[in-house]
Amino acid sequence: MSGVGTAGPGEDSSGLAPATRCVALGRPAPVGGAPVNPPIVLSSTFHHGGDRVYARESTPTTEAFEAALGGLEGGRALAFASGMAAAAATLALVPVGGVVVAPRSAYMGVLTLLREGAAEGRYTVREVDPTDTQAVVAALPGADLVWLESPSNPLLDVADLPALLAAAREHGVTSVVDNTFPTPLGARPLDLGADIVMHSATKYLAGHSDLLLGALVTADRIPDVHDRLAHHRHLHGATAGVFDAWLALRGLRTLAVRFERACANAADLAGRLADHPAVQRVRFPGAGAMLAIEVRGGAPAAEAVCAATRLWVHSTSLGGVESQLERRRRYASEPDVVPDSLVRLSVGIEDIEDLWADLAQALAHAHDRTAAPAAGDRPQESGHDRHR
Ligand SMILES: *Cc1c(COP(=O)(O)O)cnc(C)c1O
107 touches ligand 1 (CB under 6 Å): yes
9 touches ligand 1 (CB under 6 Å): no
pLDDT of residue 362 exceeding 60? yes
Assign 276 to helix, strand or coil.
coil
Active site residues: 56, 107, 178, 203
pLDDT of residue 63 exceeding 80? yes
Closest-CA residue to 243 (of 36, 62, 364, 370): 62
Interval 209-266: pLDDT, tens: 999 999 999 999 999 999 999 999 999 999 999 999 999 999 999 999 999 999 999 9
CB 197 within 8 A of CB 217: yes
Mutate to test the pocket of ligand 1, among 84, 156, 204, 346 (most ligand atoms within 8 A of CB): 84
Q: What is the mean pLDDT of residues 303-329?
A: 98
Q: How many CB atoms lie within 10 A of CB 18?
A: 17
3-state secondary structure 309-369: CCCCEECCCCCCCCCEEEEHHHCCCCCCCCCCCEEEEECCCCCHHHHHHHHHHHHHHHHHH
Residue 98 CA, ligand 1 centroid: distance in Å? 24
180 touches ligand 1 (CB under 6 Å): yes
pLDDT of residue 383 exceeding 60? no
Residue 298 CA, ligand 1 centroid: distance in Å? 26
pLDDT of residue 7 exceeding 60? no
Residue 255 CA, ligand 1 centroid: distance in Å? 17
Q: What is the mean pLDDT of residues 317-329?
A: 98
Residue of minimum CA distance from atom 4 in ligand 1: 83
CB 325 within 8 A of CB 344: yes
Q: How many CB atoms lie within 10 A of CB 378?
A: 10
pLDDT of residue 194 exceeding 70? yes
155 touches ligand 1 (CB under 6 Å): no
212 touches ligand 1 (CB under 6 Å): yes
Amino acid 73: pLDDT = 98
Amino acid 53: pLDDT = 96
Amino acid 382: pLDDT = 35
Amino acid 3: pLDDT = 40
What is the pLDDT confidence band of residue 371, given thresholds at 50, 70 and 90?
low
Assign 90 to helix, strand or coil.
helix
Amino acid 199: pLDDT = 98
Mutate to test the pocket of ligand 1, among 202, 210, 328 (most ligand atoms within 8 A of CB): 202
Exposure string over 97-106, b if 16+ CB within 10 A, otherwise e: ebbbbbbbbb
Tell me, which fold does domain 256-369 have in CATH?
Answer: Aspartate Aminotransferase, domain 1 (3.90.1150)
What is the pLDDT confidence band of residue 369, given thresholds at 50, 70 and 90?
confident
* Mean pLDDT computed over every residue of the chain: 93
Amino acid 11: pLDDT = 52
Interval 157-191: pLDDT, tens: 999 999 999 999 999 999 999 999 999 999 999 99
What is the pLDDT confidence band of residue 365, given thresholds at 50, 70 and 90?
confident
For ligand 1, what atom is nearest to the CA of residue 214?
A: 7
Percent of the chain with pLDDT over 70: 92
In the chain, CATH 3.90.1150.10 sits at 256-369
Amino acid 42: pLDDT = 98
Percent of the chain with pLDDT over 90: 90
For ligand 1, what atom is nearest to the CA of residue 110?
A: 10
Q: What is the enclosing helix (H) or strand (E) of 169?
A: helix 161-170
Q: What is the mean pLDDT of residues 359-365?
A: 96
Q: What is the mean pLDDT of residues 42-46?
A: 98
In the chain, CATH 3.40.640.10 sits at 18-253
265 touches ligand 1 (CB under 6 Å): no
The structure's pTM equals 0.93
82 touches ligand 1 (CB under 6 Å): yes
Helix ranges (DSSP H) in 198-323? 223-236, 242-252, 255-274, 298-308
Amino acid 1: pLDDT = 39
Query: How far from each other are the two terminal CA atoms of the chain, in whole angstroms?
Result: 53
Closest-CA residue to 217 (of 181, 189, 182): 189
What is the pLDDT confidence band of residue 28, given thresholds at 50, 70 and 90?
very high
pLDDT of residue 373 exceeding 80? no
- For residues 121 and 371, which has the higher predicted lDDT (pLDDT)? 121
Amino acid 370: pLDDT = 67
> Which strands make up the sheet holding 76-80, listed edge to edge?
76-80, 214-218, 196-200, 174-178, 145-149, 98-103, 123-128
Residue of minimum CA distance from atom 1 in ligand 1: 200
Q: What CA–CA distance (Å, rounded) separates 265 from 287?
A: 11
Mutate to test the pocket of ligand 1, among 91, 196, 197, 200 (most ligand atoms within 8 A of CB): 200
Residue 201 CA, ligand 1 centroid: distance in Å? 8
Amino acid 353: pLDDT = 98
Strands 174-178 and 214-218: unpaired
pLDDT of residue 385 exceeding 70? no
Amino acid 13: pLDDT = 76
CATH architecture of 18-253: 3-Layer(aba) Sandwich (3.40)
Interval 80-93: pLDDT, tens: 999 999 999 999 99
CB 280 within 8 A of CB 295: yes
Interval 116-165: pLDDT, tens: 999 999 999 999 999 999 999 999 999 999 999 999 999 999 999 999 99
Residue 243 CA, ligand 1 centroid: distance in Å? 19
